[in-house]
C-alpha cells in the first residue's frame, strides 16, 4: 500500500511517498510517477516500521528505457536508514538505482557513508561506488578508492585509510591505518584490515598482514589487546600479552601471559560478572620459577563481590591475599601495607542496623610472624534507635560480639552491650544542650593473655560495667556586620564515669591506634574500639569560629582542650591525653576561591607549647600552573621500645596544562626525620588529543624491601584511541 502527497505549487512543489514494500526505491519511483501532483493520503495497512518515505522535488518516467528519475534534494528513509542525493535514476529492468551528487547514506548504527556516485539495488542491500568517505559514530573516519556493499550488513573498501584523528587542517593526521582492503561487518560490529600499515604523520612505521578491531557501536569483543613490553631491575626484560574473552553480555575475562627473564614466568587473570542483584570481580596472578628467590610458585588473588539479597539485606566479600610479603611490589602490583580480607552480611532498616563480619590480615611491610596475626570470625554488631518521644528524647541500644583467635598468642571472646538515653534541647536563649546517660557491660573470655604487672599468662573470664553520663552545651553566636557573616560557638562537654575501668585481664585488640585531634575533641570516648574505655570525670571545652565573605572567602577554625579530674593510666604521654590537662588541638581552614586553599591541623604540648603533631596542606594556582604542598610532623613516643624518631615528611606536587594537548606533573616526597632522605620523586609529561595519548613518567623510588630493589623507573605509554594501548616500561636499579 502507498501513501502519497504533494505540497507547494509550481516548481516549488515537493512530492512525498510513503510505501510499504522492502524493495522500496523501485516501488516508490514507479508508483509516484503515475499519481497526480496533488494527491491525498491513502490508508496504510502494515506496520509503520516497514514503511518507506520518499521525498523529491521532481519525478519523471521514461517508458522506453523503463527508468524512473527523482531529482532535487532526494530523500529516502526506511526505519533508521536515510539516503540523500541530488539525483536518483532507477532502472526497473535491472532493479538498480544510481545516485549522484552529494550522496550520503546514514546507517541505523549512526555510521554515515559519503559518495559522489553510487549504484545500489532497490533494497539498498548491495552497492558499488568509488571515492568513498565514512564517518563512524565515534567521529572516527575512513576513506577509500572503491566501495562495494556486499549485503545489508557487510561493506568492503579498497585502498582504504582509517583514522580517529582530526585532519581538517589538510595535513596528514597524527596517525592512520592504510590497508589494501577493509571489511566492515555491521552485524559482527567489527572492522577487518588486510595488508595494513600504521603511519605516523604520513610515515609508515608498522606493517601487519591482518588487523581487526570492534567498530564504535560494538560492545565487548574477544581478541588480543596491545602488549606491555619493558625491563626492570626486579624483573629483567618482561612481556605481557593480554587476551580479552567476551563470555556473555554480563561477564568477561582477561588472561595475560607474563614472561620475564629474571623473575620467572606466569600469567595474570581478571574475571568480571554482573548479576541482576550484584556483581563479582576476580583478579590475580601466578608466577613460577623465580631464579633469584628459588621459589616454585608465587602469586596473589583479589576477590570482590556485592549482592543485594532484598531491600534490607546485603552481603559481600573483599578478599586480598598474596603468597608472600614482597611479591606485589616486585611484580608491580598495587601493594598496601596490610592486605585485609573480609566476608560480611548486613541488614538495614529504618531504625536498626545489623552486620556480621569475618576478617583475615596479611602484613606486607614489617616481617611479622603469620601465626601471631589474628583471625576474626565472627564480629557481630547490632544498633537500634527508637523514635523521639513527646519531649524529643530517644533511646539507643548497641551490642557487639567478637571471636578472635591466633595460632600463637592471645585468643579473645567478647560480648559488649550498651543502653543509652539521649535528650537534645534548645533553650529560648539559643543554648543547645545534649544530655546523655548510658550503661555499658563488657564480658570477656581470654586465653594466653600476658599480664606484665601480674607477671603471668592469664586464661579465664573478666568483665566490667561502665555507667556514664554527659551533658554538652553549645551557644552559636551569629553576627552580620561590615559585609561579614560570622558564627562563634563556644562548646563545653562534661562527662563522668568511674575510674580504673581498664583491667589488665582485658586484652587490647581494637583500641591500639589512638589519635587525639580536633575531630574527636568533643567525643565521649576517644578510643576507636571496645577494649579500652576512657574513664573518670572530665571536661571537654573549646570554641569554633567561622567567617564568610564573598571577597575574602571562607575561614573556619577550632581549638580546645580536655581536663580530667584524675589522670587516666590508659593514656600514654605521647597520646596528648595523659595527666589532668590534655594537649591543645585544633584546625584552621582558609579557602578564598577555587584557586587557593589552605588547611592546618595541630596538637600543641600543654606545657611547652611545642608542636606534638602538625599537618599542613595548601593548594594554589590555576590549571595552567598548580601547586599542592603537604607537610606532616608527629613527635615520637619516648616510651616506645623500638623507635626511629619523630615522623616528619614533606610532599610537593606541581602540575601544569600549558597547552590544549600538553600537560606536565612533578612530585617529590621527602623524609625530614632522623633517617631522612628522598622517599620518591616523579616527573610526568603527557600529550593527549582526540585520537592519541602519549605519557612519559620518570620516577626514583628510594625504598627497598628484601627482594624489592630501589632504583629509577621509566614508563613510556602510547595509546592509539579506538585501537588500544602500547606501553614500554624501564626500571633502572640504583648502583650501590
The mean pLDDT of 174-191, rounded to a whole number, is: 85
Q: Does residue 203 or residue 80 have the better pLDDT?
A: 203
pLDDT of residue 693: 82
Lowest mean pLDDT among 88-92, 105-109, 384-388, 588-592: 105-109
> What confidence category does residue 296 fall into, taking pLDDT thresholds of 50, 70 and 90?
confident
- pLDDT confidence bin for 172, thresholds 50/70/90: confident
Smallest Cα–Cα separation from 179: which of 152, 198, 154?
198
Listed residue (546, 550, 554) closest to 482, CA to CA: 550
Overall average pLDDT of the 388-398 stretch: 95
Q: Mean pLDDT: which of 23-27, 477-481, 692-696 is highest?
A: 477-481
Average of per-residue pLDDT across 586-590: 96
- State the average pLDDT over residues 153-177: 81
Residue 736 pLDDT greater than 60, yes or no: no
What pLDDT does 165 receive? 85
Give the pLDDT mean for 70-85. Answer: 84
pLDDT higher than 70, residue 12: no
- pLDDT value at position 437? 97
Residue 512: predicted pLDDT: 86
pLDDT at 46: 38
Give the residue ranges of DSSP H helices in 388-516: none
d(CA 10, CA 32): 17
pLDDT at position 35 over 50: no
DSSP 365: S
Mean pLDDT for the stretch of residues 432-444: 97
What b/e string do you get for 636-665 counting C-beta neighbours within 10 Å, with b at 16 or more? Answer: eeeeeeeeeebebbbbebbbbbeeeeebeb
Buried b (16+ CB within 10 A) or exposed e, 103-137: bbbbbebebbbbbeebbbbbbbebbbbeebbbbbe
- 644 or 85, which is more confident: 85
Give percent of the chain with pLDDT exceeding 70.
87
Instruction: Say whether pLDDT at 707 is over 80.
Output: no
The pLDDT value given to residue 27: 37
Other C-beta atoms lying within 10 Å of the C-beta of residue 715: 19
Average pLDDT over residues 700-719: 76
Q: How confident is the model at residue 360 (pLDDT cuts 50, 70, 90)?
A: very high
Q: Identify the pLDDT of residue 28.
A: 38
Return the pLDDT at 414.
Answer: 97
Q: Is the pLDDT of residue 731 over 50?
A: no
What is residue 722's three-state secondary structure?
coil
Residue 90 three-state SS: strand
Nearest CA among 46, 68, 48, 67 for reference residue 59: 68
| Residue spans per domain, the chain | 1-99, 125-219
Query: Average per-residue pLDDT in the chain?
Result: 84
In the predicted model, is pLDDT for residue 611 greater than 80? yes
Q: 289: which 3 cell numbers?
A: 620459577
Query: How much is the pLDDT for 322?
Result: 94
In this predicted structure, what is the pLDDT of residue 542? 97
- pLDDT given at position 513: 83
Query: Tell me, what's the pLDDT at 359?
Result: 96
What stretch of H or E contains 25?
helix 24-33
pLDDT at 524: 92
Most confident of 282-286, 513-517, 674-678: 282-286
Tell me the backbone φ, ψ of residue 220, rounded to 5 degrees. -75, 140
The CA radius of gyration of the chain, in Å to the nearest whole number, is: 37
Q: Return the SS3 of 518.
A: helix
For the residues 214-233, what does the mean pLDDT come to?
A: 73
- Answer whether residue 689 shows pLDDT above 80: yes
Predicted confidence (pLDDT) at residue 175 exceeds the cutoff of 90: no
Higher local confidence (pLDDT), 457 or 736: 457
Least confident of 202-211, 230-239, 610-619: 230-239
What pLDDT does 5 receive? Answer: 43
Q: pLDDT band for position 536 (50/70/90)?
A: very high
- Residue 614 exposed, middle or buried by CB count within 10 Å (0-12, 13-18, 19+): middle
Give the rounded percent of residues in the chain with a pLDDT score beyond 90. 45
Q: Quote the pTM value.
A: 0.75
Judged against a pLDDT cut of 50, whether residue 60 lies above it is answered with yes
* DSSP-assigned letter for residue 641: S
Cβ pair 39, 60 in contact under 8 A: no
Predicted pLDDT of residue 44 = 33
Amino acid at each position: 500500500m502507498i501513501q502519497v502527497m504533494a505540497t507547494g505549487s509550481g516548481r516549488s512543489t515537493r512530492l512525498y511517498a510513503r510505501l510499504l514494500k522492502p524493495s522500496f526505491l523501485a516501488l516508490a519511483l514507479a508508483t509516484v510517477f503515475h499519481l497526480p501532483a496533488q494527491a491525498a493520503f491513502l490508508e496504510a495497512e502494515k506496520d509503520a516500521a516497514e514503511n518507506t518515505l520518499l521525498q523529491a522535488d521532481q519525478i519523471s518516467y521514461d517508458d522506453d528505457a523503463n527508468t524512473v528519475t527523482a531529482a532535487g534534494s532526494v530523500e529516502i528513509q526506511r526505519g533508521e536508514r536515510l539516503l540523500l542525493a541530488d539525483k536518483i535514476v532507477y532502472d526497473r529492468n535491472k532493479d538498480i538505482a544510481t545516485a549522484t551528487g552529494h550522496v550520503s547514506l546514514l546507517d541505523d548504527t549512526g555510521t554515515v557513508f559519503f559518495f559522489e556516485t553510487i549504484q545500489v539495488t532497490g533494497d539498498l542491500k548491495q552497492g558499488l561506488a568509488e571515492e568513498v568517505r565514512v564517518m563512524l559514530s565515534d567521529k572516527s573516519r575512513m576513506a577509500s578508492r572503491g566501495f562495494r556493499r556486499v549485503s545489508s550488513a557487510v561493506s568492503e573498501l579498497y585502498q582504504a585509510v582509517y583514522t580517529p584523528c582530526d585532519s581538517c587542517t589538510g595535513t596528514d593526521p597524527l596517525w592512520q591505518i592504510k590497508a589494501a582492503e577493509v571489511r566492515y561487518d555491521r552485524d559482527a560490529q567489527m572492522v577487518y584490515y588486510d595488508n595494513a600499515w600504521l603511519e605516523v604523520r604520513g610515515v609508515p612505521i608498522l606493517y601487519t598482514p591482518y588487523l581487526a578491531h570492534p567498530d564504535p557501536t560494538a560492545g565487548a569483543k574477544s581478541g588480543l589487546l596491545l602488549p606491555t613490553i619493558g625491563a626492570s631491575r626486579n624483573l629483567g626484560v618482561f612481556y605481557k600479552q593480554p587476551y580479552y574473552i567476551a563470555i556473555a553480555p554480563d561477564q568477561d575475562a582477561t588472561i595475560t601471559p607474563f614472561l620475564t627473564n629474571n623473575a620467572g614466568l606466569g600469567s595474570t587473570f581478571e574475571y568480571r560478572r554482573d548479576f541482576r542483584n550484584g556483581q563479582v570481580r576476580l583478579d590475580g596472578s601466578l608466577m613460577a620459577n623465580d631464579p633469584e628467590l628459588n621459589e616454585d610458585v608465587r602469586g596473589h588473588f583479589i576477590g570482590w563481590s556485592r549482592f543485594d539479597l532484598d531491600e534490607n539485606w546485603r552481603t559481600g566479600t573483599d578478599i586480598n591475599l598474596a603468597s608472600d610479603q614482597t611479591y606485589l611490589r616486585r611484580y608491580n602490583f598495587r601493594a598496601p601495607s596490610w592486605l585485609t580480607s573480609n566476608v560480611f552480611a548486613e541488614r538495614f532498616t529504618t531504625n536498626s542496623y545489623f552486620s556480621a563480619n569475618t576478617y583475615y590480615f596479611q602484613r606486607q611491610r614489617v616481617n611479622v610472624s603469620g601465626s601471631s596475626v589474628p583471625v576474626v570470625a565472627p564480629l557481630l554488631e547490632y544498633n537500634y534507635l527508637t523514635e523521639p518521644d513527646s519531649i524529643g528524647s530517644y533511646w539507643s541500644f548497641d551490642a557487639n560480639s567478637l571471636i578472635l583467635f591466633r595460632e600463637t598468642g592471645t585468643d579473645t571472646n567478647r560480648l559488649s552491650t550498651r543502653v543509652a538515653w539521649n535528650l537534645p534541647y534548645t533553650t529560648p536563649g539559643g543554648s543547645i544542650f545534649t544530655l546523655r546517660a548510658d550503661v555499658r557491660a563488657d564480658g570477656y573470655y581470654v586465653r594466653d593473655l600476658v599480664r606484665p604487672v601480674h607477671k603471668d599468662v592469664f586464661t579465664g573470664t573478666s568483665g566490667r560495667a561502665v555507667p556514664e553520663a554527659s551533658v554538652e552545651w553549645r551557644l552559636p553566636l551569629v553576627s552580620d556586620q561590615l559585609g561579614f557573616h560570622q558564627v562563634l560557638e563556644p562548646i563545653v562537654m562534661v562527662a563522668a564515669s568511674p575510674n580504673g575501668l581498664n583491667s589488665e585481664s582485658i586484652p587490647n585488640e581494637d583500641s591500639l591506634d589512638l589519635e587525639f585531634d580536633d575531630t574527636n575533641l568533643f567525643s565521649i570516648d576517644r578510643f576507636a574500639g571496645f577494649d579500652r574505655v576512657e574513664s573518670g570525670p572530665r571536661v571537654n571545652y573549646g570554641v569554633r569560629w567561622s567567617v564568610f565573605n564573598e571577597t575574602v572567602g571562607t575561614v573556619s577554625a577550632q581549638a580546645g582542650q580536655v581536663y580530667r579530674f584524675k589522670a587516666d593510666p590508659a593514656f600514654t604521654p605521647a597520646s596528648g591525653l595523659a595527666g589532668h590537662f590534655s594537649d591543645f588541638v585544633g584546625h584552621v581552614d582558609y579557602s578564598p576561591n577555587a584557586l587557593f586553599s589552605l588547611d592546618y591541623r595541630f596538637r600543641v604540648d600543654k606545657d611547652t607549647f611545642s608542636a606534638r603533631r602538625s599537618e599542613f596542606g595548601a593548594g594554589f594556582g590555576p590549571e595552567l600552573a598548580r601547586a599542592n604542598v603537604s607537610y606532616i610532623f608527629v613527635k615520637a613516643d619516648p616510651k616506645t621500645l623500638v623507635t626511629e624518631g619523630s615522623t616528619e615528611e614533606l610532599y610537593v606536587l606541581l602540575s601544569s596544562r600549558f597547552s590544549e594537548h600538553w600537560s606536565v606533573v612533578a612530585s617529590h616526597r621527602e623524609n625530614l626525620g632522623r633517617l631522612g632522605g628522598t622517599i620518591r620523586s616523579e616527573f610526568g609529561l603527557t600529550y593527549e588529543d582526540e585520537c592519541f595519548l602519549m605519557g612519559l613518567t620518570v620516577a626514583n623510588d628510594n625504598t627497598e624491601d628484601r627482594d624489592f630493589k630501589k632504583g629509577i623507573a621509566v614508563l613510556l605509554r602510547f595509546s592509539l584511541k579506538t585501537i588500544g594501548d602500547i606501553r614500554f616500561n624501564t626500571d633502572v636499579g640504583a648502583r650501590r
